[in-house]
Amino acid sequence: MSNNLKLNHQHFDNQLKRIQDTIGGTLLNENHLAVDNDNVTGNFYYHTNGYMDFVINDLKVNQDITIEFFHRNDKDFTAQFFGNNLQYQISETESIEISIPNGLFIFKDTQSIDMNFKKGDIVQQATIYFSKDILRTETIEYLKQLDNFIFHEGDSNLLMWKKSIYDTVVIDQDLKEEWYVLKMTELNLLFQNLIRRINAKEEKKIYTDYELDCVFKIKDIITTDIKSKPVVSELAQEYGINLNKLEKVFKHLFKETVYQFYKKARIYKVQDEIKSTNKAFTEIAYDYGYTDVNHMSKNFKKTFGITPSQYKSEG
């Protein structure tokens, strides 16, 4: 059973006290929280420059946990780097799950985001809480248009920073706190350089909540009208989303292209038809847009390992 923790949105003078209040651990000093309990084992490091608060964590998860992560009331925006299994509730019945292993997720008025971890997971993430004072006017205006969030898939600079802090450098224990402060200063520069390009038309790695919402609506259209092969370019035009972005966001969210998703959903619907009706296979193939029954049978066997006839006789 998963243990559910809530990282509240109340203001603390030191962000580590906020984390300690939820996760536990020992505050070694104002910049270092060490944790070793039933939930996690590892360290959190903290630094602030007044406008921005930085937290870096390096943890091992000791049991399945879900951390409900709230936007802080005393800052305008939150940037979460290298998050896996982030779950954002878009409605009472549907949620978005996003993994951004080399990128970041920026949100403002979102009520909360769930972070789901399994026992044995290694969690290496960074978080920046920042005020709009660090932003250019055009960036502030761009972010104001968002309902809740954007995400950026990352770039080579962020990947190098991540590797330098988690993968490659061995630092003497007495120097670790200074090392992390230095790395947080580096992350500040990388982040500010990235966020200044956030509304540039040539920036292709940023995705908005509107674009994610469009992708979910397009997915719903495909599954509702599974007998019609989707024309991706027309769907992109109808919903006002760039075609390349549609394909990239769709694959990022659902781990397959639009057409791959359609083909899988279609063959599962064919399976239901075979099981629940007495329609001829040729009729089913025609209904679902296959070129002929052999085409359908080939797809069926590739997916389920048996032919439609074998499946029907087993049912």
Q: What's the mean pLDDT in 75-104?
A: 80
For residues 26 and 67, state if they share a domain.
yes
Q: Is 111 found in the same domain as 27?
A: yes
Q: What per-residue confidence (pLDDT) applies to 152?
A: 86
| pLDDT tier for residue 34 given thresholds of 50, 70 and 90 | very high
Phi, psi (5° rounding) for residue 34?
-105, 135
Instruction: pLDDT band for 201, please (50, 70, 90 cuts).
Output: low
CATH at 99: 2.60.120.10
> Does 266 fall in a domain?
yes
Regarding predicted confidence, which is higher, 87 or 267?
A: 267
- 203, 238, 266: which is the final residue of a domain? 203
Q: Tell whether 208 is covered by a domain.
A: no
Which CA distances in Å does 140 have to 53, 137, 193, 197? 19, 5, 15, 12
Of 155 and 146, the structure prediction assigns the larger pLDDT to 155
Q: Residue 285 maps to which CATH number?
A: 1.10.10.60
Give bridge partners of residue 53 from the DSSP assignment.
48, 129
147 in the same domain as 50: yes
Residues 13 and 136 in one domain: yes
User: 81: alpha, beta or left, given left = phi > 0 and alpha = psi -120 to 50?
Assistant: beta
* Cα dihedral 26→28→77→179 (10° resolution): -130
Residue 145 within a domain = yes
Q: Residues 139, 82: one domain?
A: yes
Q: Which domain covers residue 280, as residue numbers?
A: 227-315
Domain count, the chain: 2
What is the reported pLDDT for 1? 44
On whether both 153 and 79 belong to a single domain, the answer is yes
Residue 194 has pLDDT above 60, yes or no: yes
What angle in degrees, to the nearest 10, is found between the helix axes of 258-276 and 232-239? 110
Q: What mean pLDDT do residues 277-298 have?
A: 94
Three-class DSSP category at 274: helix
| Range scoring the smallest mean pLDDT among 2-6, 76-80, 138-142, 171-175 | 2-6
Together in a domain, 246 and 198 = no
The predicted-structure confidence for 38-48, as pLDDT tens digits, reads as follows 999 999 999 99
For 227-263, how does the pLDDT look when each residue is reduced to its tens digit (9 = 90+)?
999 999 999 999 988 898 899 888 878 889 999 999 9
* High-pLDDT (> 70) share of the chain, %: 91
Determine the pLDDT at residue 175.
87
| 189 and 309 part of one domain | no
- What's the mean pLDDT when you consider all of the chain? 87
Q: Give domain status of residue 53, yes or no.
A: yes
Same domain, 185 and 233: no
Q: Are residues 190 and 246 in the same domain?
A: no
